[in-house]
Amino acid sequence: MERQPKLRSARWLDADTRMGNLHRQRLKQTGYSEQDFRGKPVIGILNTWSELNPCHMHFRERAEDVKRGVWQAGGFPVEIPVASLGEPFMKPTTALYRNLLAIEVEEMIRCHPIDGAVLLGGCDKTTPAMLMGAISVDVPSIFVPAGPMLRAIWRGRPLGSGTDSVVMHNEMRAGRISKQEFDAIEEAGARSAGHCMSMGTASTMTALADVLGFTLLGASSIPAPDSRHARMASQSGRCIVEAVHNDLRPSKMLSRSSFHNAVATLMTLGGSTNAVIHLLALSRRAGLDLTLDDFADASAKVPVLANIKPVGSHLMEDFFEAGGLPALLSEISDLIDGEAQTITGRSLAEGLAGAVRIGDDVIRPRSNPVHDVGGLAILKGSLAPEGCVIKRAAADATLFRHRGPALVFDGLADMQTRLDDESLPVTQDTVLILRNVGPVGGPGMPEWGLIPIPKKLLAQGVSDMVRVTDARMSGTHFGTIVLHVSPEAAVGGPLALIRDGDIVSLDVEQRRIDFEVSGEELERRRAAWRRPEVFHQRGWVKLHQEHVLSASVGCDFDFLERGNPSPEPEIS
């Protein structure tokens, strides 16, 4: 492999100028000597640690583990804090800030003397955001995934992050368990550092970072507190120094095959619907555009083999013990391109050599899949001309062909006010619609797509019904819910025009979602439509609402998705 002729950081640190003198002087101020940094690759460790991000609470230690590896390999490590995007606490949604972290990562690398980057992330949006930034700035980058937290057990029963909270909350709303029983899961649900340990967005996106080649192969499956996780971090530090010497930047590593492999992996994981948005955005940053059709094609031929909640019954720690991602990928080796490159300098196929699947339930063999087609389906139709997504592996198959009258909620507050009203005109055939909660309308497309089953139907034993929205849904959640409807209602998509009582027809097999209203009537409604009161007048949210693109192309900003690599800064 071709060795990097000149380090990027040399412009700052080797220059025989007043500025070069100042840069060296200021590094010496921090206690380092010339032999610590001169002529060495400078490795920026971008750390999303925060006390309001419990998924990343081990990242201070992991940064030290990475530094150890960087020193050993002859690099010079520097740690830089970046925004954390802790899923549990940021409102209305971390997705509003994914592009903010992406810009921050791009700019923090671009403006500093950094030759290679180690990206410490894992909680949902941190993974795509950091990779988007790294792709745009195009310096060699390795991702150190936070790893899933340890499995949660309550009264002998495994609790999947997010998933079982919804199950038990519904049980309580239906009066089948007490408030005290529900409250008790607070104590047991999250017992270590690490991200959600169901196959939610975090587990999905870190696995996709892995198959895209941004991690040591299999790193995403290692539980956060396991000593192998610390050793993986050190090894990542050693690896990135070598990647800098070999100039293994994202533009050289990524290919169309990388992204097609990621789509196939998403399907076999039964992974999060959010990954569709993030993969679209990542591929467009790389100039290797995926479209929703790529997901539809993969969905038709890749079976779900990962038996992990919410689609299956196990948790991420079980997945790791069953062989983790390498074992899963080996099962679909004929459906992925093993020639795709990784940050290690080896191909995906070389990395998979020796992968072993332990047992045949957590990672299923091809002969006994969890589902014989992919976990997600892409739908289009008069209600979603640009497309939308349903997690069919976590939905009720008896609802896959359904016609029913719409009941429309205009935003979260409207839904919360009316949903449990005993007089709500709703039956199990009704199609619940939640709109004005998309990328612009939300703002940020919050995970409000899990529209609760109305209380009076829960009491009748209804556990699923067709729901449609321009919002997203947590990857840990489930139900027959049509998500990411594009174009969204807040910009005048057809979802804005549907009214109570209109007949909605869903046909997952035919990949259709339609509403039955005449063209004339639709034109009348369009002429009467007014923009909803969702627009902000200042700050980040205004910038977001003015520039965010549709979910059908990944919700990136129009001025960010192209134009990499970002230009080198001038130095006086």
* Contact set with ligand FES (CB under 6 A): 55, 87-88, 123-124, 161, 195-196, 200, 202
Residue 280 burial (C-beta neighbours within 10 Å; 0-12, 13-18, 19+): buried
CB nearer ligand FES, residue 194 or residue 441? 194
Which residue, 272 or 486, has its beta carbon nearer to ligand FES? 272
Cα angle 135, 196, 103; round to 5: 25
Q: Which CB sits closer to ligand FES, 141 or 204? A: 204
Closest by CA to 74, choosing from 233, 244, 252, is: 244
Nearer to ligand FES, 104 or 124 (CB): 124
**CB of 53 vs ligand FES, minimal distance in Å:** 7
Residue placing its CB nearer to ligand FES in the complex, 195 or 392: 195
Evaluate whether 478 touches 163 at the Cβ level (below 8 Å).
Answer: yes
Nearest CB to ligand FES, comparing residues 205 and 513: 205
Q: 353: which DSSP letter?
A: T
Q: How far is the CB of 54 from ligand FES (least distance, A)?
A: 7
Question: Which residue number, 57 or 378, has a Cβ lying nearer to ligand FES?
Answer: 57
| Residue listed under structure tokens 């740690």 | 79
Query: Which residue lies nearer to ligand FES by CB, 9 or 161?
Result: 161
DSSP string for residues in 412-452: HHHHHHHTT-TT----TT-EEEEES-STTTTTS--S---PP
Cβ atoms 411, 388 nearer than 8 A: no
Cβ proximity to ligand FES, 146 vs 240, nearer residue: 146
d(CA 166, CA 161): 9
Per the CB < 8 A criterion, the answer to whether 342 and 217 are in contact is yes
Q: Which lies closer to ligand FES via its Cβ, residue 88 or residue 359?
A: 88
H helices then E strands: how many in the chain? Answer: 21, 14
Q: In what side-by-side order are the strands of the sheet with 116-121?
A: 76-81, 42-47, 116-121, 141-145
CB of 14 to ligand FES, least distance (A): 41
In the complex, the smallest distance separating the C-beta of residue 553 from ligand FES, rounded to whole angstroms, is: 25
User: Could you tell me if 158 and 315 are in contact, meaning their C-beta atoms sit under 8 angstroms apart?
Assistant: yes
Which residues is 387 bridged to in the sheet?
486
Q: How far is the CB of 515 from ligand FES (least distance, A)?
A: 34
The position carrying tokens 């940050």 is: 343
- Token readout for 161 is 């992050």
Distance CA 6, CA 448 (A): 49
Q: Considering beta carbons, is residue 195 or 391 the nearer one to ligand FES?
A: 195
Q: How far is CA 232 from the centre of its chain?
A: 22
The tokens for 229 are 């996780």
Cβ closer to ligand FES: 205 or 471?
Answer: 205
Shortest reach from residue 56's CB to ligand FES, in Å:
8
Query: Between 200 and 442, whose beta carbon lies closer to ligand FES?
Result: 200
48 contact partners, CB below 8 Å, separation of at least 6:
56, 59, 81, 82, 83, 84, 85, 101, 120, 121, 123, 126, 130
Cβ proximity to ligand FES, 151 vs 195, nearer residue? 195
In angstroms, the Cα distances linking 159 to 87, 184, 313 are: 18, 12, 10
Q: β-strand 42-47 against 116-121: which pairing, if any?
A: parallel
Write out the H or E segment, with its range, that includes residue 569.
Answer: none
Distance of closest approach, residue 95 Cβ to ligand FES, in angstroms: 13
What φ, ψ does residue 413 adopt, rounded to 5°? Answer: -60, -45
Give me the least distance between CB of 203 and ligand FES, in Å please: 8
Collapsing DSSP states into helix, strand and coil, what is residue 79? strand
Nearest distance, CB of residue 148 and ligand FES, angstroms? 9
Report DSSP state, residue 195: B
CA dist list (Å): 6 to 32, 128, 176, 281, 570: 22, 29, 67, 31, 17
* Distance in Å, CB of 63 to ligand FES, minimum: 18
Determine the 3-state secondary structure of 46 from DSSP: strand
Euclidean distance between CA atoms 29 and 22, whole angstroms: 10
Residue 548 token pair: 């965010």
